[in-house]
């Protein structure tokens, strides 16, 4: 009898241990499910999918030029691209104080590889080639390309593309300006890393003419970034059909939301209002160079 009771106690203890183990397993599964739910919730929050969770890191040029960014101060929100950036950030759920600005060169921004920013805005034309390395939002502005020369240049009276034959042409590497210049003006285009060095080259007489976006051309002349210069005209057929887009790292979790934000800003008239405010004086009538 004593032996029988001992056997029953042993069996009961075994059952209790098994039950505890089973409950512990249930608890672990429950906790795992809870964590999975939390992670899922976090993954649906776009503000937590950035380089610095809760912050939106936006890159622009160094320097950044007017009228895209006024006074080289994107944090002010003044200038067309600075204003667009903050409007997009707001659509994504970021307060103005949550936006962090950084600087990059144009060509490194669209090169393959990891990025330490969430988006980059500095007049990037959307192309299939660039899409192999980075993502783009939909276009926020469609610009054209124009030609700047010195007023005392023999090309200052140019009324057509043929009148620029023989000119030494400069353009910024990897830009729509370079593509258009090579296609319509010359096979031999002098390339520069940024608009500042491009303008300096024309100012110093290293090139006869430069090609860049029309807004930038007019700014260069009005601000006397190039002394005694003139915009001889806009290159016919140079409008960028896809427009300028915000660049994001390849396969960024923010790409779809950023595109949606730009589309909504276009649809509700916000982009047009910002263009009227910041770009109107830079989109005056110019001679069409055909």
Which strand (E) or helix (H) includes residue 192? strand 189-192
For residue 41, give Cα distances in angstroms to 46, 74, 176. 10, 32, 41
Q: Where in the chain is the domain with CATH 3.40.190.10?
A: 47-142+242-284, 145-235
- Asked whether the CA dihedral 196, 199, 204, 205 is positive or negative, the reply is positive
Level-2 CATH architecture, domain 47-142+242-284: 3-Layer(aba) Sandwich (3.40)
pLDDT at 84: 98
Per-residue model confidence as pLDDT tens digits over 46-77: 999 999 999 999 999 999 989 999 999 999 99
For residues 135 and 119, what is the distance between their CA atoms, to the nearest angstrom? Answer: 9
The pTM is what?
0.72
Q: Model confidence at 29, in pLDDT bands (50, 70, 90)?
A: very low
Provide the CATH topology of domain 145-235: D-Maltodextrin-Binding Protein; domain 2 (3.40.190)
Per-residue model confidence as pLDDT tens digits over 113-131: 999 999 999 999 899 999 9
For residue 152, give Cα distances in angstroms to 148, 190, 209, 261. 12, 21, 12, 46
Question: Residue with structure tokens 């080639």?
Answer: 129
């Amino acid at each position: 009898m004593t032996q029988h009771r001992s056997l029953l106690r042993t069996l009961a203890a075994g059952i209790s241990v098994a039950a505890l183990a089973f409950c512990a397993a249930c608890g672990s599964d429950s906790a795992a499910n809870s964590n999975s739910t939390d992670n899922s919730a976090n993954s649906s929050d776009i503000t937590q999918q950035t380089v610095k969770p809760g912050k939106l890191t936006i890159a622009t040029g160094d320097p950044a030029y007017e009228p895209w960014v006024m006074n080289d101060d994107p944090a002010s929100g003044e200038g067309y691209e600075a204003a667009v950036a903050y409007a997009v950030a707001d659509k994504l759920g970021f307060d103005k104080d949550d936006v962090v600005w950084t600087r990059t060169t144009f060509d490194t921004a669209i090169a393959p590889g990891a990025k330490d920013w969430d988006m980059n805005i500095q007049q990037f034309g959307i192309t299939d080639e660039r899409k192999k390395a980075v993502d783009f939002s939909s276009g926020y502005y469609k610009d054209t390309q124009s030609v700047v020369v010195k007023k005392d240049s023999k090309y200052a009276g140019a009324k057509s593309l043929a009148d620029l034959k023989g000119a030494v042409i400069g353009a910024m590497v990897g830009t729509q300006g370079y593509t258009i210049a090579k296609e319509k003006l010359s096979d031999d285009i002098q390339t520069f890393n940024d608009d500042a060095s491009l303008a300096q080259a024309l100012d110093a007489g290293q090139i006869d003419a430069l090609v860049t976006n029309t807004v930038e051309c007019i700014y260069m002349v009005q601000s006397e970034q190039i002394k005694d210069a003139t915009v001889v005209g806009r290159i016919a057929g140079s409008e960028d059909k896809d427009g300028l887009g915000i660049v994001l790292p390849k396969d960024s979790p923010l790409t779809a939301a950023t595109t949606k934000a730009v589309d909504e800003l276009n649809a509700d008239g916000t982009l047009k209002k910002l263009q009227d405010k910041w770009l109107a004086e830079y989109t005056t009538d110019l001679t069409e160079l055909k």
